A and B are shown apart, each in its own frame.
Chain A
Amino acid sequence: MDRLLGLLSWGDNGWGDELAAGAFVTISLALATLPFGLALGLIIALMQRSESVIARSIATVYTTVFRGLPELLTLYIVYFGLQIGVQKAWAATGLPGRLDMPAFVAGMIALGLVLAAFSSEVWVGALNSIAKGQREGAFALGLNKPQTFRLVILPQLFRVALPGLGNNWMVLLKETSLVSVIALPDLMFWTGRANVVTKEPFLFFGMACLIYLLFSVSSAAGLSALEKRFSRGFATGGRR
């Protein structure tokens, strides 16, 4: 027992500080991906609902591809493929030196692309749910299209989309575990390395599960608090 606790201790002989550092990378990656993925998802959703056939087809192809590919595969393709593309583009500009895409950014892009595909569905649902009357009312007040979107639709959008986006967040949190394959020292990476050195898989993978669980459970609590806050002043037809 003492030996096992020693393995989890802080400092040079234990893996506690490494796991904590990994957990920090996991949570930073998820947080950094979130705004990027959600914003891209909203753009895709707006394209999905646009009148232009081209925009709609692009959106459909995009969501089909990124919802259909295993995240592990997307990660490999972005990490290795995009890096080469980026460098090629950089060289084509004739600028000196080279543009390096850090693993963190590659992870962010790959996870963000997937998040955008899934969150676009939530956005579309939320956009559809906002009554047409809202838009007509805004036009009647003399607001133009962008103004209507920014001042009338967007504030309501978050409230409606929140539960779905909350689910997206929980999925994202767990998907970060795949980035260890692209040399990003996240929680799963350090857990694997600790297992390699100590040969105590149950202890370390169990510990990793508990840490992820902690993130998930506290996210769930945070999300329900957020949902309550966003629903302030909104009559929920007796569903309380």
Chain B
Amino acid sequence: MKTMLRVAAAAALLAGSTLLAQAQQITEIKIGTEGAYPPFNNLNSKGELEGFEIDYVNMLCDKMKVKCTWVAQDWDGIIPALLAKKYDVIAAGMNATDERKKRVDFTAVYSRTPFSFIANKSVSSNDISPAALKGKTIGTQGSTVHANYLEKYYKDSNIKLYPTQEEANLDLKNGRLDYVLADKLALNDFVSGQGKDCCKFIADIKRDPAIHGPGVGMAVRKEDTALRDMLSKAIEQSIADGSHKKIADKWFTITILAD
């Protein structure tokens, strides 16, 4: 058993090591996304991906004159699949945290949004302090900044982690959860749509840079520095020339580059 685990550990280490030389000219990019995080990225009943990130990254690809193809991958495996080279870039509302930077690199930030608690309409208090939520059941998506945040500050609450954010929302609607913590803009979609009869916003949380990082960027493998720089440049340009805002306005009513 010992040897087996040693071998396994060695195999795991390989994941991080670089194997391939950087291609000189990048002409094709495969992009991984979750497809269960409206309105950022979502698989609709046409069987197509839609959302802000899809429109935005496709626009960047046009500008960079590269061919982009999309892959939908469940959130839990989204970084491992990047490392396993199932695709080259993750564009899935992923916050550029220090924890993730140990394994992948991030491009420039293209979205920075508030994080909020939502709850059942019957909740009257706007107090979201850990003391007030003691003993309450709080849900969010697993392997996210929100999960880490809850674990750090809400130790006395009952934390439930879901494979997708939407399943946590569904369980709030069903009454299994007292609160849900997530990205405000993703929650807004739910609170103003399917959850409009059950649920409401309670309050935003204060960002913790150690957990949340500087904002949402695209993730690439550490060795793909040329790709990272190319994407960063395109993102910065799109923010400067207003093309970022144009697409953001199509999907959101408030800015997604809040300070």
Q: Which residues of A contact B (CB under 8 A)?
A: 7, 12-15, 17-18, 21, 76, 79-81, 83-85, 87-88, 91, 98, 100, 103, 180-183, 185, 192-197, 199, 201
Q: Which residues of B contact A (CB under 8 A)?
A: 8, 11, 14-15, 19-20, 35-36, 38, 42-47, 71-74, 76-77, 80-81, 83-86, 164, 166-167, 170, 173, 194
Residue from A83, A87, A180 in contact with B74 in the complex, judged by beta carbons closer than 8 Å:
A180
Q: In the bound complex, do residue A12 and residue B36 qualify as a contact, i.e. CB atoms below 8 Å apart? A: no
Provide the residues of chain A in CB contact with B77, threshold 8 Å: 76, 79-80, 181-183
Q: Within the complex, what minimum Cβ distance (angstroms) separates B155 from chain A?
A: 29
Residue from B36, B72, B83, B167 in contact with A84 in the complex, judged by beta carbons closer than 8 Å:
B83
Provide the residues of chain A in CB contact with B194, threshold 8 Å: 199
Residue from B35, B44, B86, B166 in contact with A103 in the complex, judged by beta carbons closer than 8 Å:
B86
Please name 21 pairs of A and B residues whose Cβ atoms are closer than 8 Å in the assembled complex, sorted by A. Answer: A21-B47, A76-B77, A79-B77, A79-B81, A85-B14, A87-B19, A87-B84, A98-B19, A100-B86, A182-B74, A182-B77, A183-B72, A183-B73, A183-B81, A193-B35, A193-B43, A196-B164, A197-B38, A197-B44, A199-B170, A199-B173
Known: A14-B45, A80-B80, A201-B170. A183 touches B74 (CB 8 A): yes
Nearest A residue to B17 via CB reads A88
Q: In the bound complex, do residue B19 and residue A193 qualify as a contact, i.e. CB atoms below 8 Å apart? A: no
Name 4 extra pairs, CB < 8 A, besides A85-B11, A181-B76, A196-B167: A12-B45, A21-B47, A98-B85, A180-B74
Provide the residues of chain B in CB contact with A195, threshold 8 Å: 167, 170
The distance in angstroms between the C-alpha atoms of A21 and B45, with both chains bound, is 12
Q: Which 10 A-B pairs have the closest CB atoms?
A: A83-B84, A196-B166, A183-B73, A91-B19, A80-B80, A12-B46, A196-B36, A18-B47, A193-B43, A199-B194
The distance in angstroms between the C-alpha atoms of A98 and B42, with both chains bound, is 29
Q: Within the complex, what minimum Cβ distance (angstroms) separates A68 from chain B?
A: 13
Known: A88-B14, A183-B81. A18 touches B45 (CB 8 A): yes
Provide the residues of chain A in CB contact with B45, threshold 8 Å: 7, 12-15, 18, 194, 197
Residue from B8, B20, B36, B86 in contact with A193 in the complex, judged by beta carbons closer than 8 Å:
B36
The distance in angstroms between the C-alpha atoms of A15 and B46, with both chains bound, is 8
Q: In the bound complex, do residue A17 and residue B47 qualify as a contact, i.e. CB atoms below 8 Å apart? A: yes
Residue from A7, A15, A85, A185 in contact with B72 in the complex, judged by beta carbons closer than 8 Å:
A185
Provide the residues of chain B in CB contact with A103, threshold 8 Å: 86
Q: Within the complex, what minimum Cβ distance (angstroms) separates A70 from chain B?
A: 15
Q: Within the complex, what minimum Cβ distance (angstroms) separates B1 from chain A?
A: 11
Residue from A12, A80, A85 in contact with B81 in the complex, judged by beta carbons closer than 8 Å:
A80
Residue from A84, A183, A185 in contact with B15 in the complex, judged by beta carbons closer than 8 Å:
A84
Residue from A18, A85, A91, A201 in contact with B20 in the complex, judged by beta carbons closer than 8 Å:
A91
* Residue in B71, B86, B164 with the greatest tally of chain A CB atoms within 10 Å: B86
Q: Within the complex, what minimum Cβ distance (angstroms) separates A64 from chain B?
A: 12
Q: Within the complex, what minimum Cβ distance (angstroms) separates A44 from chain B?
A: 19
Q: Within the complex, what minimum Cβ distance (angstroms) separates B46 from chain A?
A: 5
Nearest A residue to B193 via CB reads A199
Nearest A residue to B166 via CB reads A196
Known: A15-B45, A193-B36, A199-B173. A80 touches B20 (CB 8 A): no
The distance in angstroms between the C-alpha atoms of A14 and B74, with both chains bound, is 22
Provide the residues of chain B in CB contact with A12, threshold 8 Å: 45-46
The distance in angstroms between the C-alpha atoms of A14 and B47, with both chains bound, is 10
* Residue in A76, A182, A201 with the greatest tally of chain B CB atoms within 10 Å: A182
Nearest B residue to A92 via CB reads B19
Q: In the bound complex, do residue B71 and residue A183 qualify as a contact, i.e. CB atoms below 8 Å apart? A: yes
Q: In the bound complex, do residue B44 and residue A83 qualify as a contact, i.e. CB atoms below 8 Å apart? A: no
Q: In the bound complex, do residue B71 and residue A81 qualify as a contact, i.e. CB atoms below 8 Å apart? A: no
Q: Within the complex, what minimum Cβ distance (angstroms) separates A107 from chain B?
A: 13
Nearest B residue to A13 via CB reads B45
Provide the residues of chain B in CB contact with A85, threshold 8 Å: 11, 14
Provide the residues of chain B in CB contact with A196, threshold 8 Å: 36, 164, 166-167
Provide the residues of chain B in CB contact with A98, threshold 8 Å: 19-20, 85
Q: Within the complex, what minimum Cβ distance (angstroms) separates B149 from chain A?
A: 23
